[in-house]
Structure 1
Amino acid sequence: MILDFDDLYTTSTVPWDLGEPQPAVVAFERAGRLSGAVLDVGCGLGDNAIYLAGKGYRVTAIDAAAPAVEQARQRAVAHGVDVEFTVADATTLTGFDGRFDTVLDSALYHCLADEHRTQYAAALHRATKPGARLNMLCFSDQTIGGVPSPLPVSEKNIRDTLTAGGWAITDLTSGELLALTEPSREFVEQYPNAATDDKGRIAMPIWIVQADRVT
């Protein structure tokens, strides 16, 4: 599946535009998984980055889609928080060498082709400091209530790619990512019994991944 993210952010309401952080990201923060300089990679419209900045973290947030980054900057201003938003290629992270203590990937990895995933894992290693932590949410090849993800990724793919890229996985569990129902209408109509939360958002299956940078 090849998506034109510039077009999506310009012409559509994207399914992941919750207007608030993903619950799994909030859980990462509450568990003490973030510290120091934080990189939110594939930040989209910036809700996770804005949440973390509001908690006092120094956040740099990048996305390859310029329209998303511009909207994210506007949202940060509206929330009164300071986030460094930048248009950048996550598979290279040029100019960010050795800069970050923590990485957050909320639904980027599964958007990349296999060869780009390898480049991405290596780029994250270059962009981080010794002892850095990676926190990742990635669509899985499992289901929730019979509902699959639109971009399934196997546990083996994640383990093999991150290990080769210099990351030691410390925890990998199943979880869920919330998506707006209406922008996901075509997908949702295939699964009329899909579970939704009290705001009518559909839950999609993900891997919740924690990893440490190998020095």
Structure 2
Amino acid sequence: MILDFDDLYTTATVPWDLGEPQPAVVALEQAGRISGSVLDVGCGLGDNAIYLARRGYRVTAIDAAARAVELARKRAVAGGVDVEFAVADATRLDGFDGRFDTVLDCALYHCLTNEQRVRFVAALHRATKPGALLSMLCFSDGLVSGVPAPLPVPERNIRDTLAAGGWDVTDLTSGELLAVTGSSHEFLTQYPGAVADAQGRIPMPIWIVRALRR
């Protein structure tokens, strides 16, 4: 599946636009897995970054899709929240060397090719301080209520790529990411049997990864 994200944010209602932070991200913050200066990489429409900024963190949020960043800035302004947004290539992160204590990747890793994942993990290493924490939510090859993820990533791929890029995986568990069934994107048409909650959202299977920078 190859997606043109600039086009999606211009022409479609994307399935990951909950209008609020992902519950899995809220749970990470409540579990103490966010600290210091935070990089939200692949921030999309900014709701996770806005939530973390409201919680008192210094947040920089980047996305390769200029339209997504434009809309995210508007949401932050409307919410009276200060977030540093930027259009940037997550596989390079030029100009961000050694800045961050925490990285949040909510649903970017699985969008990358294997070659891009190697560059991405290396870029995160350059952009963070020694001992920095990476929290990553990535589509898994499991099922939630019989529903598979559209871009499944095997556990071994995550462990091997992070280890080679200077990160030690300290925790890797299964979880859920929510998608909006009212999306105008064909992404969700593959799952006609999925059961939505009262807000029209369906759970997708993910890995919840915790890794420390060496």
Normalising by structure 1, report the TM-score: 0.97
The answer (yes or no) to whether the contact 2:12–2:184 under 8 Å persists in 1 is no
- Cα shift readout 1:144-169 (whole Å, capped 9, x = no counterpart): 11110010100000001011110000
Residue 184 of structure 1, CA deviation: 6.5
Residue 189 of structure 1, CA deviation: 4.4
Unaligned runs of 5+ in 2: none
- Cα shift readout 1:21-41 (whole Å, capped 9, x = no counterpart): 000100110011111100000
* 2:75 matches 1:67: no
- Cα shift readout 1:110-150 (whole Å, capped 9, x = no counterpart): 00000000000010000000110000000001111111001
The answer (yes or no) to whether the contact 1:99–1:129 under 8 Å persists in 2 is yes
**3-state DSSP of counterpart to 1:182:** coil
Partner of 2:10: 10
**3-state DSSP of counterpart to 2:102:** strand
Residue 66 of structure 1, CA deviation: 0.2
Further displaced range: 72-81 or 143-152? 143-152
Work out the CA distance in 1 between the residues paired with 2:131 and 2:137. Answer: 20
Work out the CA distance in 2 between the residues paired with 1:191 and 1:17. Answer: 18
Further displaced range: 176-185 or 159-168? 176-185
**How many residue pairs were aligned?**
214
Work out the CA distance in 1 between the residues paired with 2:109 and 2:185. Answer: 23
Q: Residues 26-45 of structure 1: matches in 2 within 5 Å?
A: 26-45=26-45
The answer (yes or no) to whether the contact 1:63–1:89 under 8 Å persists in 2 is yes
**3-state DSSP of counterpart to 1:179:** strand
Instruction: Name the amino acid aligned to 1:86.
Output: A
Partner of 2:98: 98
Pairwise CA RMSD of aligned residues? 1.1
CA 184–156 in structure 1, closer or farther in 2 if over 3 Å, else same? farther
Partner of 2:46: 46
Residue 185 of structure 1, CA deviation: 6.9
Work out the CA distance in 2 between the residues paired with 1:155 and 1:107. Answer: 15
CA 97–143 in structure 1, closer or farther in 2 if over 3 Å, else same? same
Work out the CA distance in 1 between the residues paired with 2:189 and 2:108. Answer: 24
Instruction: Name the amino acid aligned to 1:3.
Output: L
Residue 2 of structure 1, CA deviation: 1.2
Normalising by structure 2, report the TM-score: 0.97
* 2:125 matches 1:117: no
Work out the CA distance in 2 between the residues paired with 1:186 and 1:49. Answer: 26
Instruction: Name the amino acid aligned to 1:212.
Output: L
Q: Residues 1-215 of structure 1: matches in 2 within 5 Å?
A: 1-183=1-183, 186-214=186-214
The answer (yes or no) to whether the contact 1:21–1:47 under 8 Å persists in 2 is yes
Residue 200 of structure 1, CA deviation: 1.6
Work out the CA distance in 2 between the residues paired with 1:106 and 1:187. Answer: 17
CA 187–64 in structure 1, closer or farther in 2 if over 3 Å, else same? closer
Work out the CA distance in 1 between the residues paired with 2:112 and 2:208. Answer: 17
Work out the CA distance in 2 between the residues paired with 1:51 and 1:60. Answer: 12
Work out the CA distance in 2 between the residues paired with 1:112 and 1:88. Answer: 15
Residue 43 of structure 1, CA deviation: 0.1
